[in-house]
Amino acid sequence: MSSHRSAASPPSGDLIAALDIGGTKIAGALVDRDGVLLHRARRATPAQESADALLGAVHEVVSALAAGPLWGAVRAVGIGSAGPIDLTRGTVSPVNIPAWRDFPLVESVARHPALAHRQVMLAGDAVAMTAAEHRHGAARGHKNALCLVVSTGVGAGLVINGSVHHGLTGNAGHLGHISIDFDGEPCPCGAKGCLETIASGTAITRHALALGWQPPLTADAAAVAAAARAGEAAALAAFDRAARALAAGIAATAALVEIDIAVVGGGVAQSGEVFFEPLARHLRRYAAMPFLQDLRVVPAELGPDAGLVGAAVLASAGVPPATTVLVDGAR
């Protein structure tokens, strides 16, 4: 049931080959129907290199997976990628991978020789995490949910009426880029005052430093969290500000689509109560309508493997034709 489990025994049924592509790593695994990772591979993302070099690293991960004894049980490939993505064309334009702009990722991955006659499915990384938490994690049993990844950025995905909601292009639920502060600082996306500029781990660190926090060694969100647990005022204020912004975004989403649970994962969620206590407190303030009284926010359960598990969940469930490519390029 949990994505952080692993096993070496033969699968009881079909397997999915899953890829999780981000700005620092390209992870791969063979995933069974219970969300168990049976075989792994990983490469560093050559994020500043050419498009071909990046694709080469992805193909290396696929080759490493295909070299194992379980490859014959693989029936499809699921990819969770940093975005934005475009499901209608199978392309990606990750903010933190400059060489990939409108890059035809699905078609390019599908041409790996080991993927002959296997479908390749694409999803945004936060949508993949959402699928994992809905099937195997903290959103299990909920028909309407919001799942968030709060790390160097803020990503999110929606479950509506029991199904993961991709949207027209695969970017639905992009909570990190709703404006919380109309006159706030510029966001790399081009807008101002985006939630990501306030609630991300990067923003927490930046705000703590602006308030006078003195980092012991490394200045990052984990260090700010340690300072907050020690009672340092600047660190506590930075987490409170981030939690307030995130609570406002969650409450707005709940008012729009009537979710009853928000699941929060990512590096910032590992901060524990210094993050979740103010988040729950501010959520009670912003989720004021009577139909939002049962709204809860809880930690994610699946950890860093959620993207792989979710990509497998989505590929296993089947996808709209426009998001799938076979090795011969036929859609």
Phi, psi at residue 223, to the nearest 5°?
Answer: -70, -40
Mean pLDDT, residues 299-316: 95
Percent of the chain with pLDDT over 90: 85
Q: Hey, what amino acid is at 143?
A: K
> 58: Cβ–Cβ under 8 A, 6 or more apart, which residues?
19, 21, 26, 108, 109
For residue 219, give Cα distances in angstroms to 58, 235, 236, 303.
31, 11, 15, 23
CATH 3.30.420.40 domain extents, the chain:
15-127+306-325, 140-300
**Could you give the C-alpha distances from 175 to 6, 59, 209, 247, 255, in angstroms and in order?**
31, 31, 25, 11, 14
Report the CATH superfamily, name and number, of domain 15-127+306-325. ATPase, nucleotide binding domain (3.30.420.40)
Quick: pLDDT tens for 204-257.
999 999 999 999 999 999 999 999 999 999 999 999 999 999 999 999 999 999
**Domain spanning 140-300, CATH architecture:** 2-Layer Sandwich (3.30)
The three-state secondary structure class of 293 is: coil
Q: How far apart are CA 88 and CA 90, in angstroms?
A: 6
pLDDT-derived band at 327, boundaries 50, 70, 90:
very low
Tens-place pLDDT, residues 156-207: 999 999 999 999 999 999 899 999 998 899 998 889 999 999 999 999 999 9
